[in-house]
Structures are given as C-alpha cells and as structure tokens.
C-alpha cells in the first residue's frame, strides 16, 4: 500500500491533469461525434466539412475547459501565447482526424455511417494523444520555478 501511496504522491499533479483533461476530452468528443453526425447525416453536409465544423466547436469548448479547469494551476505562460498554440495544435489535430475520415470515405469508398464514425473516432483518438503531449509540453506551461509533475519528489512524513 505504501508503494501505491508513494506513486500517487509522486505523480499526483500528473494524474489529476490527465483525469481532468480526460473529462474535458470526453465532453469534447461527444460534441465532435454528435455534431459531425448531425451535420453530415442530418443536415446533409459533406463528411469533411461536418468534421471540421464540429471539431471547431469542440475545440473552443476544450480550450475553455482545459484553460479554466484542467490546467488552471499552470500559470507559466501568457494567455495570448497559450491561445495561439492551443489552436495551432488543434488545427494539426483536426488534420489528423480529417486524414482518417478522408482515407476511409474517399480512399476506401466506405460511405456508411459506421465507417464514417469509426474513422472519425480513430482520428479523434490519435489526435487526442498528439494534443495532450503538445498541451503539456508547449501550451499550458508551469511557471519557470515550478517543476513538472513527473519531477516532483514524493512527500514523506517525519514518522
């Protein structure tokens, strides 16, 4: 039990960041998938424009959720810099998603809703790993004098 406590103490900040990032991401995921389906199958928009619009809406939601909640404790960067980098990395993430959807829809010729959703979900998954790395590495930075969560030493009691 002490090992688990020590691991938790050492990676507490990281665990909390990933959990909060995950909650924001799940909500943004539903916005992306639900919005893309509503726009593509409900409104009749093309597959790529539907993913693009839904992802932009989800990105704005994710920015606010990550900035104001998941990474709120990271005060090491200017809001303008964070905003620009956040949207640049999300633009790259969108391109990753679009590559999967376009590859399945246009490359493989699979145009049914199952293929569309599987491609979109896989694209979101790959883009999410990319985004998490970029957010932690370049967007939501710690103050210069604050160590990264994985560099923190575990707290030890005097007993």
Domain ranges of the chain: 2-142
Compute the distance between CA of residue 51 and CA of residue 18 in angstroms, rounded to an integer: 25
**pLDDT tens over the chain, length 159 residues:** 788 888 888 888 888 888 998 899 899 999 999 999 999 999 999 999 999 999 999 999 998 998 888 877 776 557 788 889 989 999 999 999 999 999 999 999 999 999 999 999 999 999 988 988 898 888 877 665 444 544 444 444 444
pLDDT at 46: 97
User: 0.95 cut: is pTM over it?
Assistant: no
**What single string gives the DSSP state of each residue in 16-32?**
HHHHHHHHHHHHHHHHH
């Amino acid at each position: 039990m002490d090992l688990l406590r020590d691991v938790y103490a050492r990676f507490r900040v990281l665990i909390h960041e990933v959990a909060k990032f995950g909650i924001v991401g799940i909500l943004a995921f539903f916005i992306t998938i639900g919005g893309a389906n509503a726009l593509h199958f409900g409104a009749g928009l093309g597959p790529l424009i539907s993913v693009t619009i839904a992802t932009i809406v989800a990105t704005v939601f994710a920015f606010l959720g990550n900035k104001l909640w998941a990474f709120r404790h990271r005060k090491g960067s200017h809001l303008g810099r964070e905003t620009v980098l956040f949207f640049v990395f999300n633009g790259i993430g969108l391109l990753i998603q679009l590559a999967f959807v376009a590859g399945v829809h246009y490359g493989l010729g699979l145009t049914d809703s199952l293929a569309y959703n599987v491609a979109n979900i896989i694209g979101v998954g790959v883009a999410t790993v990319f985004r998490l790395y970029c957010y932690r590495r370049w967007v939501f930075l710690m103050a210069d004098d604050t160590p990264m969560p994985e560099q923190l030493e575990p707290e030890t009691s005097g007993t």
